[in-house]
Each structure stands twice: as C-alpha cells, then as structure tokens.
C-alpha cells in the first residue's frame, strides 16, 4: 500500500478544509460570562437551602464566619445576602438576637399555584427523567456497596420522617413539612453517597437542587403515606437486593412526579395528528406533598 506523504510532501489544506475545521472548533466553544464573586456565594447558599440543609427559621452562620469559610470578603457576603433577601429566601434580622434567617415562603392561591407549576412544567419533566436515570442506579449500587454507617444514617432519617407523618396535625404544619423535606433530601443524598460513585452523587445533588419548590407556595400538608416508599427503598438496600432497590426507587420517583402533576393545569388536547401528551386527569390545586 502506498504511504501517505509526510512533511513537505503533505498536501496543504484547502480553504474548504479550513472552513470546516474553524466551524467545528467555534461550534464547540461557548461564550464565557464573567461571574462576580458574590454570585458564586449566592449559588452556594441557594444550593444549601434547596437541598434542605437549611430550613425556614434556621440561622445562617454569622457574616464573618461565612466570609472565612468561603474565603471571600465580608463585603462580598453582604452583597450576596442582599440578593438572597431580595429573592425572598432569607431575612436579615437586626439586633443582638438577629442574624441571617432562612425565610418561610408565603402561600399562593389555587390559580396562582397552577400558574407557578405550569411555568415549571418543562424543567420538572427533564428533572424527573434525570432522577430516574441516576437515582435508580444509585439505589442499585447502594444495595451492594453501603456501609453500616450509611445504613444507620438512612434509618435515622427514615425514623424522623415517620414521626412527622404520625398525625394529621403534624402533617399540616409548614415547619414540619420543611423539616420533612430536609430529612427526605438527607435520605436520598445518603443513598447516592452509598453508591460509591461520585458522579452519580453529584448528579443527585444537582437534580434535587433544581427541583426545589417553595414550601408554603405549593405544598400544604404531607400525605399520610409520604414515607412508605422510603421504607421500601431502605429495606431493599438493607437486604442487599439491587433489583428491588432500583425498582422501589423508580416507583417512588414516578409517584412523586404524579403528585406534582396533579398541581399542574391540564394541557390542551393535541391537535389531530399531533403527538399525544399522555397526561390524564384534571389538575387539582393544593394536592398534598408526597416525599421527593
């Protein structure tokens, strides 16, 4: 077989070759938006709130501690807190007993809930598909990789969630719903951690951050069965059954998605010949919250 020419004998690239190459390179590179340091602080604090690590009524660390922990100036922290306060996520309380307090969300009327959920529909669809892909695998891997400490932490979160679901009075308290969501997040994050896969763990954190829905705006009470799926997931992981763990997680995520679907306005019927949406049933504003 003839050898390809090399060095000075190699053919020069044509204009068409260069254009195609330039197009490929340029198409693979996105523009970069400069990010102010305070915006990075805002995103980190939001992530902690959305993952349930801070719940309404909790105090954030003092300004000086946040600055030291995040290696930024106190001026940067103050700017970030102004943004978070403007978005209604925290309240800055003055005085000796004051501080940076995570704020409870005000409620919405039924028609406002429908509008809010409709605006979130496309993102929620994508998030729940992403969750099924990642959390089912996390549960499958956790069934064979979990440690005793991880099982203990799952069991602790499970027990605390069960106590919050014991009576209708407890289930209707917004503070308890906030606490339940924090424990729910803890349970799912420990399952992801137990998978032993850092990429899956990061994916689960990202999905739970993105799916944050303000308590009080949407959720009014917990379902009495809100913790049942968690118990099934935990039992399968504890028993070391990967298939059962993955299926229990899938059922849990699908059921949670259906509960949220009841909060959304029903889509208009597709025109003749258009793809069917597959959504059934009328929207019911105020559907109680199930576990996430």
Domains of the chain, CATH where assigned: 37-102 (1.10.10.10), 110-261 (1.20.120.530)
CA nearest 99: which of 114, 83, 119, 85?
A: 85
CA distance 276 to 257: 19
pLDDT of residue 99: 87
DSSP symbol at 60: P
pLDDT of residue 33: 80
pTM of the model: 0.69
CA distance 86 to 92: 11
The DSSP annotation for 183-229 comes to HHHHHHHHHHHHTT-HHHHHHHHHHHHHT---BTTTB-SB-TTTTHH
pLDDT of residue 166: 80
CA nearest 185: which of 218, 164, 157?
A: 157
pLDDT of residue 57: 84
The burial of 189, by beta-carbon neighbours within 10 Å (0-12 exposed, 13-18 middle, 19 or more buried), is given as: buried
pLDDT of residue 276: 43
CA distance 102 to 53: 11
Helix (H), strand (E) at residue 144: helix 110-145
Cα distances (Å, whole numbers) of residue 77 to 47, 57, 95: 16, 20, 18
Q: What values do phi and psi take at 288, rounded to 5?
A: -65, 155
pLDDT of residue 225: 66
pLDDT of residue 49: 85
The token duo for 264 is: 């959304």
pLDDT of residue 37: 92
Per-residue pLDDT of the chain (292 residues; tens, 9 = 90+): 555 555 555 556 565 555 555 555 556 677 778 889 999 999 899 888 887 788 888 899 999 999 999 999 999 999 999 999 998 889 988 877 778 898 876 555 556 556 666 777 788 889 899 999 999 999 999 999 999 999 999 999 999 998 888 877 766 677 787 888 889 999 999 999 999 999 999 999 999 888 776 544 555 556 666 789 999 999 999 999 999 999 999 999 998 888 777 755 555 554 554 444 444 443 344 445 556 7
In the chain the beta strands, taken as DSSP E runs, fall at 90-93, 99-102
Crossing angle between the packed helical segments 110-145 and 242-261, to the nearest 10 degrees: 180
* CB of 286 closer than 8 Å to CB of 261: no
pLDDT of residue 24: 55
* CB of 287 closer than 8 Å to CB of 110: no
CA distance 78 to 14: 56
pLDDT of residue 164: 86
């Amino acid at each position: 077989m003839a050898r390809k020419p090399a060095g000075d004998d190699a053919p020069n690239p044509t204009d068409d070759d260069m254009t195609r190459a330039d197009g490929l390179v340029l198409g693979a590179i996105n523009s970069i938006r400069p990010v102010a340091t305070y915006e990075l602080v805002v995103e980190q604090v939001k992530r902690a709130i959305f993952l349930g690590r801070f719940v309404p009524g909790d105090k954030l660390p003092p300004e000086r501690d946040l600055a030291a922990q995040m290696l930024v100036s106190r001026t940067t922290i103050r700017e970030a807190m102004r943004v978070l306060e403007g978005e209604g996520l925290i309240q800055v309380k003055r005085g000796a007993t004051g501080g940076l307090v995570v704020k409870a969300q005000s409620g919405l009327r039924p028609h406002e809930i429908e509008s809010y959920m409709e605006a979130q529909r496309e993102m929620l669809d994508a998030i729940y598909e992403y969750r099924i892909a990642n959390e089912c695998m996390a549960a499958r891997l956790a069934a064979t990789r979990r440690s005793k400490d991880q099982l203990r932490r799952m069991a602790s979160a499970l027990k605390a969630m069960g106590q919050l679901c014991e009576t209708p009075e407890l289930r209707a308290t917004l503070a308890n719903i906030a606490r339940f969501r924090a424990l729910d997040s803890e349970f799912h994050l420990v399952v992801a951690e137990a998978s032993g896969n850092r990429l899956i763990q990061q994916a689960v954190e990202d999905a739970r951050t993105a799916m944050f829905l303000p308590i009080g705006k949407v959720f009014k009470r917990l379902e009495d069965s809100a913790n049942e799926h968690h118990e099934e997931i935990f039992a399968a992981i504890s028993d070391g059954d990967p298939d059962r763990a993955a299926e229990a997680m899938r059922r849990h995520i699908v059921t949670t998605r259906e509960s949220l679907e009841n909060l959304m306005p029903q889509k208009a019927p597709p025109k003749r010949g258009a793809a069917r949406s597959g959504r059934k049933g009328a929207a019911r504003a105020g559907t109680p919250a199930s576990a996430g």
